[in-house]
């Protein structure tokens, strides 16, 4: 950079005019020489400006050699170019970071003008509102045709406070969206869409839970209170009649006891933690299944055919009492919902990835698909009347789900109407231990022979 470009310009002018004047003196044409000097200075300036203009038209070209004022202009413009590149790089970096952040936010975000023209939206807006890149420039109120949304969108323009409504998702009416509208400056608005379906489901589950607990407790309490009032009010009852009435109180009292015990167990499972896999005791899962199988066959009283396929060498690292509840609940459910003459198949086997799978398959009536996702909800019943007639507290699968969660396992349910259902507990490889076979099967499971993999296979 020239520290004083005007001095350089004066020197250049003096040089050109001086040379022209000198030539004029030599040739005897002083005026012509002076004019030629000025013309030479102008041509030189024209060339300087031409180089500057050519450099300006090529943003990535290197600065060309210049002199005087053109050199100074080139320096300042080059510095301005550099600053602009830095600003553009910073803006691009900020925009990239903003898009990355907006993409990580689970809410759908849409930037629109006052009239509703879409300027920008994040990927979640595609999933929740069904917007696609081709919708940029279109009006949002033409794409979301919900009367409540249109009313709030129109009335909420220009407000400083957020407006919140809930509408079904344009893509799925079973998904509920909370729409909030924020004013951004004078001419823009930011729409934020949040999926509140889970919140609504949790609220519904809480209401159902309170209602079901109240109902489950009220029914046996009503029976107990009725018999007690009869005993207290009727002084003519004999000892044998009183004893008979008291015996009838046992079943509702036991039902209340089981219900309270299951609720307390669920509370402990919800809040408690278990040690890591390497710190838990070894559980003989095959022995647990054999013990539960004996109880289930006694309850069945010969009405069901049981078939076992167990791998005794497979063991688990976990809490034995909780693992026992998994086997007990799944096998007892199979008995309750399988009609007389049906078959119940129990399998305990290793999978290729090192995990282990416990399956209970029945030949019951099956479960409709819409009920499968809610089976583990507390007190949820597919057939309320039949479920209560068959017994149980309605908390068995909830307990199974919580126990498996605590052990890092998962519950898989498949069912076909008219054919039966399968409930499977899949334990992770980190909790599966392969030990030595502990002994032959007992009871009906004696009709088993070791398989090539070390497990057992039913004999014919």
DSSP 3-state of 225: helix
41 close to 16: Cβ distance less than 8 angstroms:
yes
Model confidence over 57-92: pLDDT tens digits?
776 666 667 766 777 776 777 778 778 878 888 887
Model confidence over 169-178: pLDDT tens digits?
888 888 888 8
* pTM for the predicted model, two decimal places: 0.50
pLDDT of residue 316: 92
Is the model more confident about 339 or about 249? 339
Residues 6+ apart with CB under 8 A from 85: none
Pairing of strands 356-362, 343-350: antiparallel
438 close to 389: Cβ distance less than 8 angstroms:
no
Question: pLDDT-based confidence at 155, cuts 50/70/90?
Answer: low
Question: pLDDT-based confidence at 303, cuts 50/70/90?
Answer: very high
> Among 290, 317, 275, 261, which residue's Cα sits nearest to residue 429?
317
Tokens 């907006």: give the residue.
102
Percent of the chain scoring above 70 in pLDDT: 83
Q: Does position 53 have pLDDT exceeding 90, yes or no?
A: no
The residue ranges of every structural domain in the chain are: 5-98, 105-195, 200-270, 276-458
> Among 183, 181, 146, which residue's Cα sits nearest to residue 164?
181
Q: Does position 224 have pLDDT exceeding 70, yes or no?
A: yes
Query: Phi and psi of 128, rounded to 5°?
Result: -95, -40
Which segment of 158-162, 293-297, 401-405 scores lowest on mean pLDDT? Answer: 158-162
Q: Does position 307 have pLDDT exceeding 90, yes or no?
A: yes
Give the DSSP letter of residue 64: P
197: which strand partners? Answer: none
Is CATH 1.10.260.40 correct for 200-270?
A: no
DSSP 246-288: HHHTHHHHHHHHHHHHHHHHHHHHHH-----GGGSPEE-HHHH
Rounded to whole angstroms, how far apart are CA atoms 362 and 262? 24
Q: In whole numbers, what is the pLDDT of the chain averaged over residues?
A: 79
Q: Does position 439 have pLDDT exceeding 80, yes or no?
A: no
CA 275 vs CA 267, 304, 318: distances in Å: 18, 38, 8
pLDDT of residue 449: 29
> Among 334, 306, 330, 301, which residue's Cα sits nearest to residue 441?
306
360 close to 331: Cβ distance less than 8 angstroms:
yes
Question: pLDDT-based confidence at 293, cuts 50/70/90?
Answer: very high
Is CATH 3.30.450.20 correct for 105-195?
A: yes
Residues 6+ apart with CB under 8 A from 426: 351, 355, 356, 357, 358, 409, 410, 411, 412
Model confidence over 322-363: pLDDT tens digits?
999 899 999 999 998 899 999 999 999 999 999 999 999 999
* Angle, alpha carbons 217-221-223 (nearest 5°): 130
Question: pLDDT-based confidence at 428, cuts 50/70/90?
Answer: very high
Buried b (16+ CB within 10 A) or exposed e, 45-57: beebeebbeebee
Question: Mean pLDDT over residues 380-390, rounded?
Answer: 58
Rounded to whole angstroms, how far apart are CA atoms 265 and 258? 10
Provide the token pair at 315: 């063991």
Question: pLDDT-based confidence at 156, cuts 50/70/90?
Answer: low
Question: Mean pLDDT over residues 17-37, rounded?
Answer: 81
CATH topology for the 276-458 domain:
Heat Shock Protein 90 (3.30.565)
């Amino acid at each position: 950079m020239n520290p004083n470009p005007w001095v350089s310009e004066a020197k250049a002018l003096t040089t050109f005019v001086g040379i022209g004047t000198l030539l004029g003196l030599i040739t005897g044409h002083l005026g012509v020489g002076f004019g030629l000097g000025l013309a030479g200075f102008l041509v030189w300036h024209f060339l300087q400006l031409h180089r500057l203009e050519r450099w300006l038209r090529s943003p990535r070209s290197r600065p060309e050699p210049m002199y005087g004022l053109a050199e100074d202009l080139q320096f300042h413009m080059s510095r301005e170019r550099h600053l602009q590149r830095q600003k553009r790089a910073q803006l691009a970096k900020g925009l990239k970071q903003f898009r990355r952040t907006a993409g990580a936010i689970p809410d759908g975000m849409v930037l629109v003008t006052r009239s509703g023209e879409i300027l920008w939206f994040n990927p979640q807006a595609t999933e929740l509102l069904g917007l696609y890149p081709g919708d940029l420039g279109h009006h949002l109120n033409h794409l979301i045709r919900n009367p409540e949304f249109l009313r709030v969108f129109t009335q909420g323009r220009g407000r400083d406070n957020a407006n919140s409504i809930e509408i079904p998702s344009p893509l799925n009416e079973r998904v509920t969206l909370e729409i909030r509208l924020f004013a951004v400056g004078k001419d823009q608005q930011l729409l934020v869409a949040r999926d509140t379906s889970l919140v609504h489901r949790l609220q519904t589950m809480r209401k159902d839970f309170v209602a079901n607990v109240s109902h489950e407790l009220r029914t046996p309490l009503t029976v107990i209170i009725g018999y007690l009032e009869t005993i207290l009010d009727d002084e003519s009852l004999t000892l044998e009649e009183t004893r008979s009435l008291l015996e009838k109180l046992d079943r509702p009292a036991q039902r209340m006891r089981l219900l309270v015990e299951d609720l307390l167990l669920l509370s402990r499972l919800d809040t408690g933690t278990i040690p890591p896999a390497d710190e838990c005791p070894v559980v003989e899962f095959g022995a647990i299944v054999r013990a539960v199988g004996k109880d289930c066959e006694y309850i069945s009283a010969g009405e069901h055919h049981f078939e076992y396929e167990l791998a005794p060498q497979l063991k688990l690292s976990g809490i034995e009492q909780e693992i026992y509840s998994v086997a007990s609940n799944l096998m007892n459910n199979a008995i309750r919902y399988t009609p007389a003459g049906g078959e119940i198949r129990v399998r305990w086997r290793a999978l290729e990835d090192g995990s282990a799978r416990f399956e209970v398959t029945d030949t019951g009536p099956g479960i409709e698909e819409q009920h499968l996702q809610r089976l583990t909800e507390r007190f949820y019943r597919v057939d309320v009347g039949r479920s209560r007639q068959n017994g149980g507290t309605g908390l068995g699968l909830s307990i199974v789900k919580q126990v498996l969660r605590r052990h890092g396992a998962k519950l898989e349910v498949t069912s076909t109407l008219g054919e039966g259902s399968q409930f499977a507990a899949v334990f992770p490889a980190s909790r599966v231990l392969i030990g030595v076979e502990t002994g032959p099967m007992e009871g009906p499971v004696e009709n088993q022979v070791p398989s090539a993999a070390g497990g057992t296979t039913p004999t014919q």
